[in-house]
Structure 1
Amino acid sequence: MMKTLILPIAVIGLTLSGTAESAVTSNFDNLILAANSHWAGETSPSAPLFEPNASSFNSGLATFSNQMTDWGGGVSSWSGWAYSNQTDNTTPGFENQYSAYTGQAHSGSNFGIAYLSGDAAQISFAGPVQADGLYLTNTTYTALSMLNGDSFAKKFGGASGNDADWLKLTVSGLSGGVESGAIDFYLADYRSSNNSLDYIVNGWEWLNLSSLGTIDGLKFAISSSDTGLFGMNTPAYFAMDDLTVTAVPLPATIWLMITGLLAFLGFNRGTVHRNPALI
């Protein structure tokens, strides 16, 4: 009798391990924002001046890293991830750093904004996932800087329009802290000899991440043709929405170990105990 009752529990374990998981989308709309506003981190009264205060926020299965630094005198700066619903796509400059150049989110009202400084702009997952992809676009600040130039950065294409400028985002998969692969996406590309093919991304574009395989994190790097003595001159921002991932189920062997343990706990030697959960 004991063997007969344990077998169905093991079968249940195998069935659960083989069940297809549903895709989950991080669309930022679970995060509460007032109209035309953003969240980009917070300083801590207990943190010393000039030291970053690390924080994070969650949407879907993803955790987005952020850090805010208090420089004193009411001055602070952030890096990593923010979330926003600001859509001013005409005002240039740093004061408009939280707006998407598209003038809207890809879905809903909110979207993510990344400012890349060091390794701050990372995404982690509680367990292994298969990343399906995400939607990307430029921020207004970065797009108008590339389109017209500003006090720090050049106009892409230069005065003649023939300069082979570009802004490239590199998305890398992480598994146990080790890179599993990388995918490049050009937020602007003026490298063609045909100037009519030059572009600055101004809509939401899908980036397929499935080639990264099973991962537990993502990291981002940005590079530009416009660099100087102190690094990149182009504003190091991009906007993201609707990151879609699918959780990878536990292997059947682990499910068998778990269900076998449950079976052992449900039976005493020589005595059958009815488990209400199995009725």
Structure 2
Amino acid sequence: MQSVRVFFCRTRSDVDVLWEHHSSNETKIRNGEMNMKKMMWILMGMMFLVTPPAGAEIVTFDDLSLDPESFYNGSDGAGEFETTGVIFNNVYDDTFGPYWEGFSYSNTTDTTTPDFTNQYSVITGIGADNSGIYGVAYLGFIGTVPIITFADEVNLDEVYITNTTYAFLAMQDGNAPAKKFGGDTGDDPDWYLLTIIGKDVDENVTDVIEFYLADFRFDNNSQDYIVDEWTSVDLSSLGQVKTVEFSVSSSDIGAFGINTPTYFAIDSIVIDQDSDDDNGGGNGSTCFIHLIGVD
């Protein structure tokens, strides 16, 4: 019995399309017509593949170039980098050794090294939607605010956020001076908060969104969490923005400020280019994948 994958997609035009992938040959069969002598459906599993609406643009880092297991931290002195027409700020200073703030981008995959040498890795080991390259933000001693700047005012739909490996392991296990969140008993009400600020072309604040990268304030300790996967953050309430700024705060404060490593990872910023669409925005399509056995 040979294995065949069939993709069934329904688009807004109500045209059903089937793709048959048989060995190395692909045949597209439209409108539900399939010319196969014998077919036995064996449902091994089903998953949804949802494409973004036609009125949406996704800003990723995959059009940037990196060697394997490497990163860009602004060492060329550019002060920023651009992807998909969107600008991410960066500050780099090597006066006392290599140092950066703002945004960098990376494809490193280390999810186990718990210290500063692993500052560019994401806890998932990969970008959102299994992409190779993702963004990393750092809010450091100089005080640089990570800022995303768009060519024009835009309406944003969502962004995917998670922890870096360095920050995650510091909160999970402790890494002096950073404490283990929850303390020895698990009862300490610790938290690590990302604040997202939208601003219009006149630099007026449009809205402020809060997203907890870790939260141990629950009465039931089993509800405490540290974000360890790419998580969608709804940005629609920001309205029309020209820039988006980020800040972090934490319950773990020491003599020199936040003890928690002040990093987060970012990917897949969805720009809604058709926000007035009464039908929910664009010509998205949903596909089902079935595994079929054929004699």
Q: TM-score range by the shorter chain?
A: 0.7 to 0.9
- Counterpart for residue 150 of structure 1: 175
TM-score by length of 1: 0.75
The answer to whether the 8 Å contact 1:21/1:246 transfers is: no
Please say which of residues 238-247 and 186-195 is displaced more in the overlay: 238-247
Q: Give the distance between the partners of 2:177 and 2:85, measured in 1 at CA.
A: 37
- Counterpart for residue 4 of structure 1: none
Alignment match of 1:187 (pick from 213, 234, 257): 213
Q: Give the distance between the partners of 1:134 and 1:217, measured in 2 at CA.
A: 14
Q: Give the distance between the partners of 1:80 and 1:246, measured in 2 at CA.
A: 25
Matches within 5 A, 1:13-162: 22-42=55-75, 44=77, 55-72=79-96, 75-107=97-129, 108-117=131-140, 118-162=143-187
Q: Give the distance between the partners of 2:236 and 2:185, measured in 1 at CA.
A: 39
Q: Give the distance between the partners of 1:123 and 1:216, measured in 2 at CA.
A: 8
Q: Give the distance between the partners of 2:149 and 2:118, measured in 1 at CA.
A: 28
The answer to whether the 8 Å contact 2:55/2:274 transfers is: no
- Counterpart for residue 49 of structure 1: none
The number of aligned residues is 219
SS at match of 2:90: strand
Question: Structure 2 counterpart of 1:65, which letter?
Answer: N
Matches within 5 A, 1:162-173: 162-173=187-198
Q: Give the distance between the partners of 1:134 and 1:197, measured in 2 at CA.
A: 24
- Counterpart for residue 205 of structure 1: 231
SS at match of 1:146: helix
Q: Give the distance between the partners of 2:243 and 2:85, measured in 1 at CA.
A: 11
TM-fit CA distance, 1:248: 7.7
Deviations 1:128-167 (A, max 9, x none): 1001110010000000000010121110001111000000
Q: Give the distance between the partners of 1:131 and 1:32, measured in 2 at CA.
A: 25
Question: Structure 2 counterpart of 1:222, which letter?
Answer: V
Gaps of 5+ in 1: 1-19, 45-53, 250-279
Question: Structure 2 counterpart of 1:237, which letter?
Answer: Y
Deviations 1:201-238 (A, max 9, x none): 00110001000101101000100000012110000000
Q: Give the distance between the partners of 2:168 and 2:135, measured in 1 at CA.
A: 16
SS at match of 2:172: helix
TM-fit CA distance, 1:43: 5.1
TM-score by length of 2: 0.71
Q: Give the distance between the partners of 1:198 and 1:146, measured in 2 at CA.
A: 12
Larger Rg: 1
The answer to whether the 8 Å contact 1:119/1:219 transfers is: no
SS at match of 1:92: coil
The answer to whether the 8 Å contact 2:198/2:243 transfers is: yes
Q: Give the distance between the partners of 2:73 and 2:145, measured in 1 at CA.
A: 12
TM-fit CA distance, 1:22: 3.0
Higher strand share: 2
Higher relative contact order (CA 8 A, sep 6+): 2
Identical counterparts, % of pairs:
44
Question: Structure 2 counterpart of 1:236, which letter?
Answer: T
The answer to whether the 8 Å contact 1:84/1:99 transfers is: yes
Gaps of 5+ in 2: 1-52, 276-295
Q: Give the distance between the partners of 1:244 and 1:228, measured in 2 at CA.
A: 36
The answer to whether the 8 Å contact 1:128/1:247 transfers is: no
TM-fit CA distance, 1:40: 0.7
Question: Structure 2 counterpart of 1:95, which letter?
Answer: T
Q: Give the distance between the partners of 1:61 and 1:248, measured in 2 at CA.
A: 18
Are 2:263 and 1:237 equivalent residues in the alignment? yes
The answer to whether the 8 Å contact 1:67/1:120 transfers is: no
